[in-house]
Amino acid sequence: MALRKFEIIDRAPYAQGRQFGTVGAFEQLDGTAHFIVDPLLPANAAIVDLELIPRDCDGMVHFSADLCVIVPVDASRSNGRALVDLPNRGRRLMVVNMNQSPPAAPVARQAHAGDGFLFEQGYTVASIGWQWDVYRSDALMGLDAPSAMRDGEPISGETMVEFRPNEAVSTFLLADRVHKPLPAAPGPQPQAVLYVSDYEDAADVPIERGLWRFADGSGAGAPQASQDHIYLEGGFVPGKIYQLVYTTERAPVAGLGLLAMRDVAPFLRDRLSVSGESSGVATHKHHTLITWGISQTGRMLRHFLSLGLNLCEDGTKAYEGVHSHIAGARRGAFNHRFAQPSNQTTPSWGHVFPFADATSEDPVSGRSGGLLDRLDALNATPKIIYTNSAAEYWRGDATLAHTLADGCGDLEEHPATRNYLFASTQHLAGYIGQSRTNAGVGTTARYPLNVLDYRPLLRAALINLDRWISADVEPPPSQHPRLRDGSAVSRDQVLAYFTKLPAFACPDAQRLPFVRTVDLGADESVGVGKYPAKEGAFYPALVSALDADGNETAGVRLPDVTVPVATYAGWNPRDPATGSPDQIVPMNGSTLFFARTVAEREGSGDPRRAVVERYRDAQEYAQLVRDAATQLADANYLLRADVELLVVSALQRYHAAMGTSTA
């Protein structure tokens, strides 16, 4: 077994000893997982540069990762299932999403317990650090990744990093936002190139080499030489896209994170033992392992599946179930030389075919295959549920998971998967009172953000996945845009609706993000790239059609969408203050409330019916929402116990639209 030792550093009651239904109290174990893997085993062959890590006298590779496990104090009350949460940029997010924790709950070592849903069900929740470029802290988890070496020296070579400024600054870290950089190799690097473009698919224009250098100009005084920063004379322009191709001096083996995720599973299945002062040693055994990832880590799960890694070194299956949330049809920078897992937009291995689970032909790239081909051949395919928001469709990729690559038809679904769009939602669950500035990327949206909270649908999807595994109960049918019924349309068609709304500035359809074919050079197949990648033909970017209120017709529709007080979208133009208002903010959606009264509607020229034309009062509205939520529960897209949760949530938006009190 690759996870040889769990070194517990801290052990404490979870949620201050709170009792969770009949399961009782939980405790949290924080520590370090120590791994030893054989680089020559076929099960590990997919990891790029694994064989270049220095080995011990037995030929084995050692590495370690942060590990957190929340388990019932009384092991006998467990439901026998362990959920493995992949921390997103170091943050543990499964509990706060599934347990409906408050939006303001801080990122912390102990996740906010919310309404206790997961723990009342008896789940063990484990979080495994997997990302080498996280600045680890008490709250953020990561992995110690040794670097690839050749002849006793670290491997150096060409890499690329992207910057998307939202304000005028002169200096950037050589990383995505606040992650660890790949340092520039010493020396002037005259061959390094800094490109700038107006939008994603515009021409990349080199910036004169004498105008920038590897230096940090963020402090007082003259810029200081730095291997970790880039300095541009005159500053970076907000709204532009910059890509730097340079030589770095080391290559952390990022793919070890995929092995950490895989190999924590057999440990949780059979070997998690905790000693107690009075109870002796409690052994927690789990017969079912489900892994969950959100956004970045949802893409990581897709990468894990595509590499066929769900088979452990001993030939046993790691996970019975996978839930990939808001990943769209992309993968990521998780397993190539000089990979920075924090990277999300730079075209690389995360943007290449195949996008769909089942085998298909791609006339655009000339390739063929399926995401699950390797696992199918190994008989190691888990049950998989994909959930997405409208934002993943609007960034140009999500439709490729279920549509022919030339956009001429729908793909047949793989029997081990389900795919759900949460209609008219944004990337992360919304709430009233959000800042228009995206906390992740720092971009400010032009209009109020999408306030729909899809999290009740998320936990119903998890329970459906569990039942599919444990009781062979089929989940409800996939719900997403389809060409055959006309619910999948071009983004231009949707934008045409929004041009009719008063005082609304639409983005430029030509400047929306697209997925294109990617050529990373002659060594692409072994995980070594040539940058910048050559992008070629465009893939079709399809989204859901709209109803008369401007809300999406495809997917699982919350009562807010079927009984609306607003138009909700999965996209939002950039605020002019952050540059490029003709483009959209990645991940953010929008809320455009209906007029309250007929007079207000007529005065503004809004073609949508006013709220008072739709609903007599809050009581009538609540009943309509309850009826719609009950229909979702009848179809198993919502847990029956969460019907009233949706009613309360929708009423908040009703009162926000009407400007009335929720009391």
CA count, 13 A, side-chain hemisphere, 158: 17
CA 427 to chain centre: 8
CA distance 653 to 172: 39
Banded pLDDT at 341 (limits 50, 70, 90): very high
The last residue of one of the domains, among 216, 248, 280, is: 248
Clarify whether residues 324 and 207 are in a common domain: no
Instruction: Let me know whether 307 and 419 are in one domain.
Output: yes
Q: Strand pairing partners for 70?
A: 28, 125
Please indicate, yes or no, whether residues 173 and 109 belong to a single structural domain of this protein. no
Domain of residue 295, residue span: 3-146+253-426+451-471
> Within this chain, do residues 380 and 396 fall inside the same structural domain, yes or no?
yes
Examine the domain organization and report whether 286 and 162 are in the same domain: no
Do residue 258 and residue 382 come from a single domain?
Answer: yes
pLDDT in tens, 62-107: 999 999 999 999 999 999 999 999 999 999 999 999 999 999 898 8
Cut 0.95: pTM above it: yes
Do residues 268 and 135 share a domain? yes
Phi, psi of 158 (to 5 degrees): -85, 135
Q: Tell me the mean pLDDT in the region 616-634.
A: 98
Task: Please give the average per-residue pLDDT across 616-626, as a whole number.
Answer: 98
Do both 229 and 330 map to the same domain?
no
Residue 649 in this model has a pLDDT that exceeds 70? yes
Residues 88 and 106 in one domain: yes
Kindly state whether residue 91 falls inside one of the protein's structural domains: yes
Question: What was the pLDDT predicted at 278?
Answer: 47
* DSSP for residue 359: -
Report the distance separating Cα 408 and Cα 414, nearest Å: 19
Q: Let me know whether 99 and 11 are in one domain.
A: yes
Mean pLDDT of 578-596: 95
Reported as a single tens digit per residue, the pLDDT across 165-207 is: 999 999 999 998 899 999 999 998 999 999 999 999 999 999 9
Q: Identify which has the larger pLDDT, 438 or 469.
A: 469
State the chain's mean pLDDT as an integer. Answer: 95
pLDDT exceeding 70 applies to what percent of the chain?
Answer: 98
Q: With the CA atoms of 247, 253, 254 and 255 taken in that order, what torsion angle do they form, in degrees rounded to the nearest 10?
A: 140
pLDDT mean over 434-457? 92
67-76 pLDDT, tens digit each: 999 999 999 9
pLDDT digits (tens, 9 = 90+) for 250-292: 999 999 999 999 999 999 998 887 766 545 566 789 999 999 9
Reply yes or no: is the peptide bond before residue 532 cis, omega within 30 of 0. yes
Which of 218, 248, 278 is at the close of a domain?
248
DSSP string covering 546-596: B-TTS-B-SSB--HHHHS-SEEEES--BBPGGGS-TTSBPTT--EEEEPPS
pLDDT at residue 428, as a whole number: 96
Residue 516, H or E segment: strand 516-519
Residue 556 has pLDDT above 90, yes or no: yes
* pLDDT band for position 376 (cuts 50, 70, 90): very high
Is the pLDDT at 442 greater than 90, yes or no? no
pLDDT for res 54: 97
Q: Give a yes or no: residue 281 inside a domain.
A: yes
How much is the average pLDDT of 559-586? 96
In a domain, 488, yes or no: no
User: What's the rounded mean pLDDT across residues 415-432?
Assistant: 98
pLDDT at position 276, please? 60
